[in-house]
Amino acid sequence: MSAHLLSAQNPVAALSATQRAVNDPLMPSRWTAADIPDQSGRTVIVTGANSGLGFQTALELARHGAHVVMTVRDIDKGRAAKARIQAEGVSGSLELRRLDLADLDDVERFAADIIADGLPVDVLINNAGVMMPPRSLTRQGHELQFGVNHLAHFVLTARLVDRLAQSRDGRVVTVSSDLHKRGQIHFDDLAGARHYGRMSFYAQSKFANVLFALELDRRLKAAGLPVRSLLAHPGYSATNLQLSGPTGILKLFMRFGNRFLAQDVAMGALNQLYAATAPAAAGGQFIGPDGKGEKNGYPRIVQPIAGASDPDLAKRLWQLSEDLTGVRFIIANSGAAHAL
């Protein structure tokens, strides 16, 4: 193993559902979308909101009164998704904005437009992602999964953290995966130029999500800023994510799993909805399903792999993310947070 490869191959044992319930007595045993508090007056940005978990999240938040900014790469698909939500007779409002997370220039443009338009941001849900495609690169030359799933959301959060700090209950919810437990950061081959594996590089990006969100939580708390950074993962939920990236036999396997093994998207979205709305949700928590192997079930606090809580590794990834994106993400003890 390379000396430059920091690994997280020693997982901690997952807590049982009973242990989790004891550790979090305020969480209902079966929290559902019906438990979402009134979101009137709150503005939530959901990346990747035209399908899957993002669509379901946008739908439920709009049902409960939020103003939801739906970010989409394809405007036509976004319009169709927005119309489907509006047809449900939701009490909240919807706004459609284009965002291509595979292009950091577009992330910068999107964030600048949000700020220029004076739009408040109470919750940022870093939901969008790509899963196990053939090796490909973002516009800036980063491996696609790492670039979209981590770097783009790193920049988006950095650019909007000032706006989140102005909210009375600002939250950043970063959507990871249970597959983060197989992840490691390939510091000496980050783009997979020498060796690329679809699953290993997907796991890398999801591991990066956890490192980032927990480090963000530490920095926000140290600065005394009233913003919560939380994690969520959907377990094994049937969405088009499993079908849009994989090809060949892997895609057939994913199609079989979605049909016969996965829980539906409404259940999978509960974890990020809890993180985004529940009054008891606290910064640094990781919300996932309470079922066996965290594959399905109702929201509970779950544990990341041990290496994901390593502050030194997280700081190294943070610095690397700044270097790769050219964005300095500063959270100062003065109570200010900004990006340069």
* Residues belonging to the active site: 202
Which amino acid appears at position 182 of this protein?
R
Q: Please say whether the beta carbons of 226 and 232 come within 8 A.
A: no
DSSP secondary structure, 132-187, as one string: SPSS-B-TTS-BHHHIIIIIHHHHHHHHHHHHHHTSTTEEEEEE--GGGGG-EE-T
How far is it, in rounded angstroms, from Cα 230 to Cα 125?
Answer: 10
Strand partners, 330: 338
The angle formed by the CA atoms of residues 230, 63 and 234, to the nearest 5 degrees, is 35
Tell me whether residue 292 is exposed, middle or buried, using C-beta atoms within 10 angstroms of its C-beta: 0 to 12, 13 to 18, 19 or more: exposed
Element (H, E) at 125: strand 123-126
Nearest to 72 by CA among 94, 41, 91, 40: 94
Phi first, then psi: give them for residue 232, nearest 5 degrees.
-145, 150
Which amino acid appears at position 187 of this protein?
F
- Residue corresponding to tokens 């997979």: 192
The two three-digit tokens of residue 101, written as one number: 């997370």
The two three-digit tokens of residue 97, written as one number: 């904005």
Nearest to 106 by CA among 95, 96, 114, 98: 98
